[in-house]
Amino acid sequence: MAPKSDDSRSFTVPEVRVTREEKRMFELKAALYSGSTESLIREAVSQFKGETPVISCRCGQVMKRVKRTKEYEFDVAGEKYVVKVYNVPAHECACGTITFDLMFLAKLEEVIGDEVLYRLNSRQPLPEEIDLYDLLLAE
């Protein structure tokens, strides 16, 4: 479905199949607290604070949740362009092993790439540093 406005920053998120009970709860909560299903979804997403899972290292020890900086390289008009992203969740073990969630990194790279493209197309300055906290509005 196309966005209602011609704002190129406006999108429709994928539809989600739910059970009858979930649908009922969804409609009741929207009516009771948010006024509309759209505002319930917005509120729920902005308030949601998740945690990365607890994982064990190959050496057997439980890994610590840490934040690291990742750099993403893009090719802009034949020039190498780097965006630093701060506070990317990772897991670190006492043995020195650091691991990232590869599915998340792929999604993050896609999101950063979209932002770079958007700014190029709208002739805005390209981001050099992005704090993941700002993107997630999380602590």
Report the interface residues with Zn ion, using CB under 5 A.
57, 59, 61, 93, 95, 97
DSSP for residue 56: B
Name which of 14 and 96 has its Cβ closer to Zn ion. 96
Name which of 63 and 88 has its Cβ closer to Zn ion. 63
Reading the block at residue 52, the tokens are 């990365």
Map residue 110 onto helix, strand or coil: helix
Closest distance between Zn ion and the C-beta of residue 99, in Å?
10
Closest distance between Zn ion and the C-beta of residue 61, in Å?
5
Whole-number Å distance between alpha carbons of 139 and 133: 6
DSSP for residue 19: -
Closest distance between Zn ion and the C-beta of residue 65, in Å?
14
